[in-house]
Amino acid sequence: MIKEPPFFENVNEGDELPPIKKGPINRTQLVKYAGASGDFNPMHHDEVFAKNAGMPSVFAHGMLSMGFAGQLVVDWCGNEALKRLGVRFAAITWPGDVIMCKGKVVKKYQEQGKNLVDCEIYCENQNGQKTVTGSATVELPSKKG
């Protein structure tokens, strides 16, 4: 169902976002992602090409991981609240990987009459290696209306 944002008053620095689990990633998902996004860089779907480029296999688009990070934040605060999402791609996601996406509130503040919260977010694989690190800014409603 549609996620309603938490009230600003009920959110505190240090609060954790409910984690989400994605994957295991498989090659069919990479092909679906290539088709959906229009990113046909062959490194993500052409095993022969990827191996010739020195990679052990095809690997996921970075933007697939950013999509997971977006889901993490929206599952917590709803779509409307999300004002900024930024990520750094830290490590490659491979077929077979299981990805956990996690985040926490690091800053709660008011700016130009808006109730804002900054979150740190990351995705990590089954070995605890971070594949994506980033941050999100969300605007939350107040109980005062």
Partner 1 sequence: MPVDRSVLGKEYPPFVYEVEKGKIRELAEALEDPNPLYRDEKVARSTKYGGLIGSPTFLTCFRSPDWSMLDLIKDLKADIGKLLHGEQEYEYFRPIRPGDKLTCKLKIKDIYTKEGKAGPMDMVVTETDYVNDKGELAARARAVLVIRS
Summarize as ranges the residues that interact with partner 1 (CB under 8 A): 1-2, 22, 29, 32-33, 35-39, 41, 43, 53-54, 61-64, 66-68, 70-71, 73-75, 79-80, 82-89
Q: Which is nearer to partner 1, 79 or 126 (CB)?
A: 79
Q: Which is nearer to partner 1, 14 or 97 (CB)?
A: 97
Name the residue among 1, 42, 29, 9 with its Cα closest to residue 117.
Answer: 9
Structure tokens at 75: 């599952």
- CA-to-CA distance for 35 and 49, rounded, in angstroms? 18
Q: Which is nearer to partner 1, 74 or 105 (CB)?
A: 74
Contact in structure between 4 and 77 (CB atoms under 8 Å): no
Residue with tokens 């992602």: 33
Residue 103: CB minimum distance to partner 1, A: 13
Residue 71: CB minimum distance to partner 1, A: 5
Residue with tokens 């295991």: 24
Q: Which is nearer to partner 1, 64 or 105 (CB)?
A: 64
Residue 86: CB minimum distance to partner 1, A: 4
Q: Cα 42 to the chain's mean position, in Å?
A: 23
Instruction: Return the half-sphere exposure (C-beta side, CA atoms, 13 A cut-off) of residue 136.
Output: 31
Residue 9: CB minimum distance to partner 1, A: 21
Instruction: Please report which helix (H) or strand (E) contains residue 16, including its range.
Output: strand 16-22
Q: Which is nearer to partner 1, 1 or 14 (CB)?
A: 1
Residue 26: CB minimum distance to partner 1, A: 11
